[in-house]
Amino acid sequence: MYYLGIDIGSLSCDAVLIDSGSAIAASVVVPTGARNRESISRATDEALRIAGISRTDIAAVVSTGYGRDRVEERLSSVTEITCHAKGITALLPGIRLLIDIGGQDSKAILLGKEGGVVDFAMNDKCAAGTGRFLEAMARALQVDIDDMSDMDAGAKGEQSISSMCTVFAESEVVSLIAGGTPVNEIVMGLNRAIASRILSLVKRTTPSYPDVKIAMSGGVARNRGVVRAIASLMGHEVAVPKDPDTVGALGAALIAKEKSTLQRRAAVSVSLSL
Amino acid sequence: MMKAYFTDLEAGIVKAINDGNSSHRKLYTLELARLGKRLYSGTDPIAWCGITAPFDLLNAMGVTSCFVEFIGAMLAATGVVGTFIEETDHAGYSSDACSYHRSVCGAAMKGIMPVPEFLIGTTCPCSGGLAVLENLARRFDRKLFVLHVPQEDSAGSVRFLADQMREMAAFVSRITGRKMDGGALRKSVEYSNRASATMREIFELACRVPSPITSRDFSNFGIVMALFFGREEAVTIAESYRNEFKKRIDAGDNGTSGRKFRLLWIQNRIQFRHGLEKMLEEEYGASIISDELNDITWDPIDPENPFDGFARRAISIPINGTTEKRIGHLKKLARQYRIDGAINPCNWGCRQGAGARGLIENGLKEIGLPVLNLDVDCVDSRKFTEGQLRTRLEAFMEMLDNREPLWQS
């Protein structure tokens, strides 16, 4: 038996298949694009292909992410907050504070010992400091977003980005480029601005953050410069799992397994009582 | 436009009631429609006011009065608020200002705010509301009387405010040419006292476990009831609520069946149509059974000396004064209602709401109560992002589901 977790975010659609022993059988990331259902099918088909199984081998599906209600085959939908908490606890046991920066929102999640959500804080309406923000800045810098990861190398950290509104920050970056500010200084300024925004979420949920293990998930966790800036600002190590963007989908798959098991037990107990 | 809206609303509800489809909520909405109709009748003397004005005193003096935020809420409920807010955009108002107030200013600019006889401003709960009244007074070229509500609850403060209210009564008499009728004032106070006493009963019923309340029951209830103080309708509505809740309790129909979570809503509700409360009830078994603005914080008013009582009431309102006072009141509600989680919409543009959110969150966490801060414009539906809010609310429910209950059964 296999369990499928699907995380439909604003930028990527992630699918993770786990087997009955909770081992990851497949992990897939595809762009979400304009048509959710197509990307869900694509991610699912690719996961099935990698695992070498068919749809009938899947016992349960749980969906998460902003498009979670678009997955028709779902057993249930669960928010990305709960799924990321579940996923990171499976990957990095002992983590108590999770920073998740996705395509359009960022979160600080305080976890209990068992990986349950104790508290969380999310960005307000503004998408500044999220994946979309970084995309816009990469566009302004005319660089590939994947290349931004280490573009802060050698920067002295003397350039701050004063505006965190995505639109204003983009024009600020354009002005800095025009004024001859080195790209590495601009990138470090952006990373620090994101870190500063994250720190306020962290302090709201986890005032004791210096004393707990911290990890980061979500697509932005692939950006080493942002992770470094967050770790530096907090004065604390930040662990990143091997596949940070599929943590939510993994959590969804684990919840699918739990829910499916509970349902089977309930069915058995009903049939026994009959 | 508004007169036709309120007339149609009244006719629709009267027909429903005559067809045997009556309810506490219908009676409440019917009286709101009638109040709206009086405000827009073009014949009744009317006054635009601040939230903590003594409406029973004004009702006793034959003046139909209303706090201006009510109009903002009505425009939001009818789905036309965007047009009026845009009007203030064109006039250069900041888009960060409170949408309750911007919509009222926009409505005045577009000529759908009736011209009042006078205006009564209050320094509580916010300076924005007072600024709107100053703005309207200038626009309509009408006199504005401002009640300076002291923050501290003391004999001196009561005396200070009661004297202002006496001056206010004299001001109203001068403008309307109507003398204060002692008998009418006594009658008005008696209605207010009866309504307040019944509202106490209602809130006690709401505290029950399980509670007979659903999220919709108390939406805008306490704050709008103040408009009916001094009139028989206040008593009729309050009794109708009490009877409905008693009936539900007697029938064993305690609000939403299978309810798991009891929620406290901080400040004011979202005023336009949305699916979030329904989603909370149907998908998570969570009902808002208490609102910050639903409480009776004052003693019965002495009909022979009502001004001191009016003053004490205005001073006692939890949103008057320091955030510390608000937190104390919210903690009291959380304990009384055995609340599982509090939701603070932090109405966009409200300095009192947004400015106090950190203190309120920390204060409630001191008693172990989880708080969800949202970022909602409660009036301007154009800024509403239901998906984002759903995610936050759903995550909050999942978090509550994962916690040990705060209160022992």
Q: Which domains does chain A have, with CATH numbers?
A: 2-79+252-273 (3.30.420.40), 93-240 (3.30.420.40)
Which of A32, A81, A205 would you mutate first to test chain B, the one with the most B CBs within 10 A? Answer: A81
**pLDDT at residue B253 above 90?**
no
DSSP 3-state of B286: strand
Band of residue B409 on the pLDDT scale cut at 50, 70, 90: low
Q: What is the rounded distance in angstroms from the CA atom of residue B316 to the CA atom of residue A244?
A: 52
> Coil, strand or helix: which one is B68?
helix
Comparing B111 with B409, the larger pLDDT belongs to: B111
Statement: residue A273 has pLDDT above 70: no
Q: What sign for the dihedral angle of Cα A195, A197, A198, A200?
A: positive
pLDDT single digits (tens) B198-210: 999 999 999 999 9
Q: Give the C-alpha separation, A131 to A105, whole Å.
A: 8
Does the beta-carbon distance from B399 to A120 stay under 8 Å? Answer: yes
**What is the four-CA torsion angle of B235, B236, B238, B240, rounded to 10 degrees?**
160
The confidence band for A120, taking pLDDT boundaries of 50, 70 and 90, is very high
CA atoms of B184 and B180, how far apart (whole Å): 8
Q: What pLDDT score does A271 carry? A: 65
Tens-digit pLDDT profile for residues B344-353: 999 988 888 8
User: Who wins on pLDDT, B257 or B39?
Assistant: B39
State percent of chain A over pLDDT 70. Answer: 96
Is the CB of residue B40 less than 8 Å from the CB of residue B22?
Answer: no
pLDDT of residue B259: 65
Q: What is the pLDDT at residue B38?
A: 94
C-alpha span between A253 and A257 (Å, rounded): 6
Q: Where residue A115 falls among pLDDT bands split at 50, 70, 90? A: confident
Confidence of residue B257 (pLDDT cuts 50, 70, 90): low
The CA distance from A177 to the nearest CA of chain B, in Å, is 31
pLDDT band, very low/low/confident/very high, at A272 (cuts 50, 70, 90): low
Which pLDDT value is given to residue A132?
A: 84
Between CA B374 and CA B391 the distance in angstroms is 11
Q: Which two tokens stand for residue A176?
A: 């800095």
C-alpha span between A203 and A197 (Å, rounded): 10
List, in sequence order, every residue forming a beta bridge with A100; answer none if it has no partner.
A107, A217
List the single range of A152-161, B272-281, B326-335, B392-401 with lowest mean pLDDT: A152-161
A208 and B CB contact within 8 Å: no
| Span B79-86, average pLDDT | 93
pLDDT in tens, A52-89: 999 999 999 999 998 898 888 898 999 999 999 999 99
Question: Above pLDDT 90, what percent of chain B?
Answer: 85
Among candidates B387, B392, B399 on the partner chain, residue whose Cβ is nearest the Cβ of A122: B392
The amino acid present at B185, given as its one-letter code, is: L
Work out the minimum CA distance from B395 to partner chain A, whole angstroms: 6
Judged against a pLDDT cut of 60, whether residue A131 lies above it is answered with yes
Return left, alpha or beta for B334; rule: phi > 0 is left, psi -120 to 50 is alpha, else beta.
Answer: alpha
Q: Do residues A209 and A236 touch, judged by C-beta distance below 8 A?
A: yes
What residue ranges define each of the domains in chain B, with the CATH number in brackets? 2-180 (3.40.50.11890), 184-401 (3.40.50.11900)
Q: Which two tokens stand for residue B369?
A: 């109560």
Chain B interface includes A106 (CB < 8 A): no
Residues A43-67: b if buried by 16+ CB within 10 A, e if exposed? bbebbbeebebeeeebbbbbbbbbb
- The pLDDT score that the predictor gives to residue B129 is 93
Question: What is the mean predicted confidence (pLDDT) over B310-335?
Answer: 96
Summary mean pLDDT of chain A: 91
Distance from the Cα of residue B316 to its chain's centroid: 15
Interface test with B, best of A120, A165, A200, A208 (most B CBs within 10 A): A120
**Residue A99 pLDDT:** 97
| Pick from B373, B383, B395: CB nearest A82 | B395
Q: What's the confidence (pLDDT) of residue A274?
A: 57
C-alpha B123/C-alpha B149 separation (Å) is 6
Return the SS3 of B383: helix
Average pLDDT, chain B: 94
Query: How much is the ipTM here?
Result: 0.87
| pLDDT classification of A33: cutoffs 50, 70, 90 | confident
Looking at residue A189, its pLDDT comes to 92
> Which CA distances in Å does B306 have to A37, B47, B123, B146, B204?
66, 21, 21, 19, 26
3-state DSSP assignment of residue B121: strand
- The model's pTM: 0.91
Cα A99-A102-A105 angle, rounded to 5 deg: 85
Residue B68 CA: distances (Å) to CA of A72, B129, B130, B171, B192: 46, 8, 10, 20, 21
CB-CB neighbors (< 8 A) of A83 in chain B: none
- Say if residue A227's pLDDT is above 80: yes
pLDDT at B255: 56
Q: Which residues of A touch B377 (CB under 8 A)?
A: none
B20 burial (CB, 10 Å; 0-12 / 13-18 / 19+) is exposed
Asked whether the beta carbons of B323 and B298 are under 8 A apart, the reply is no
The first and second tokens of residue B405, run together, are 């209950």
Highest-confidence range of A159-163, B217-221, B256-260, by mean pLDDT?
Answer: B217-221
Q: Which residue of A has its CA nearest to B361?
A: A204
Determine the Cα–Cα distance for residues B98 and B155; give it in Å rounded to an integer: 34
Contacts of A78 in chain B (CB under 8 A): 398
Burial class (CB in 10 A: 0-12, 13-18, 19+), A181: middle
The minimum CA-CA distance between A238 and chain B, rounded to whole Å, is 24
Cβ–Cβ < 8 Å for A109, A205:
yes
pLDDT value for A270: 64
